[in-house]
Amino acid sequence: MDEKVEMLEAKVRHMKEQNRTLRMMLETMSRKWQKLQLHVQEINNAQGCRQSFSTAQKPSRIFVKTHPNDNSVMVKDGYRWKKYGQKKTTKDNPSPRAYYKCALAPTCPVKKKVQISIQDKSIIVATYEGKHNHGFASRDLLKPSSSSTPEVSTIMNNDLPMTNMSNNINIDLCLWNRVTLCDDDKQHKDGGTHIKVQECVTSLLKDPNFIASFAEAVILSINTQNKQVGLNLSLGLPQPHFFK
């Protein structure tokens, strides 16, 4: 009988710890979300100024930092792309450049060029041209596929073109960094908690339903708070040293 009580108490303690961890993650994400909103406001203001000087449309360029283990040179931006060409080398960059067309709509004029950065080979440079003349990608495209590796990139972009979207938000969910930063002191006192945090986040990131639901919730939240804001969502994977 006592054993059962102890087991239950242990479970309760474990759940409390998990609860604390998740709350911490949520707070971290909330802080980041607030920062992003401020950033979006700044961009809005800046664009307002810029547009008064020039209305010329430049190709958009985004930079994607990839996980070292991820060999796929693919930017998961929610749209479906058809590859129609590749150049082995270009003048300014020896790495191959791939050419993509938007495959969501046959008449969509948007094209994308993808190439590994010459400065940092862990960065993929994607250049977008044109604007989508159709709706955003269906929600299933936001879900991580079972066959492919989970999204491992942190996207830093400017002006990713999307239909009827004037701004874009990028969410960096590299929770490991945040947890490490927030709990740096605690870690020394309580190393076990840190391991549990890792386990907890690992299990969450491995769950496609969680990722899809989270992406959906964030999109919903953004749409309700700022109807003109688009979203690029990338889910960060653990830092490599955790796998050591």
Which residues contribute to the site for DNA (CB under 7 A)?
A: 82-92, 97-99, 103, 111, 113, 147
Please state the closest distance from residue 210 (CB atom) to DNA, in A.
Answer: 25
Phi, psi angle pair for 35, to nearest 5°: -60, -45
Q: Which is nearer to DNA, 89 or 213 (CB)?
A: 89
Please state the closest distance from residue 109 (CB atom) to DNA, in A.
Answer: 9
Which H or E element spans position 2? helix 2-53
Token reading at 132: 């989508």
Q: Which is nearer to DNA, 36 or 108 (CB)?
A: 108
Q: Which is nearer to DNA, 123 or 165 (CB)?
A: 123
- Between CA 98 and CA 115 the distance in angstroms is 7
Please state the closest distance from residue 85 (CB atom) to DNA, in A.
Answer: 3
Q: Which is nearer to DNA, 148 or 221 (CB)?
A: 148
Please state the closest distance from residue 92 (CB atom) to DNA, in A.
Answer: 5
Please state the closest distance from residue 90 (CB atom) to DNA, in A.
Answer: 3
Q: Which is nearer to DNA, 51 or 147 (CB)?
A: 147
The answer to whether the beta carbons of residues 139 and 216 sit under 8 Å apart is: yes
Percent of the chain that is helix, strand, coil (3-state, to 5): 45, 20, 35
Instruction: Give residue 140's region: left, alpha or beta (phi > 0; psi -120 to 50).
Output: alpha
Q: Which residue in 208, 207, 237, 233 sits closest to 220, CA to CA?
A: 233
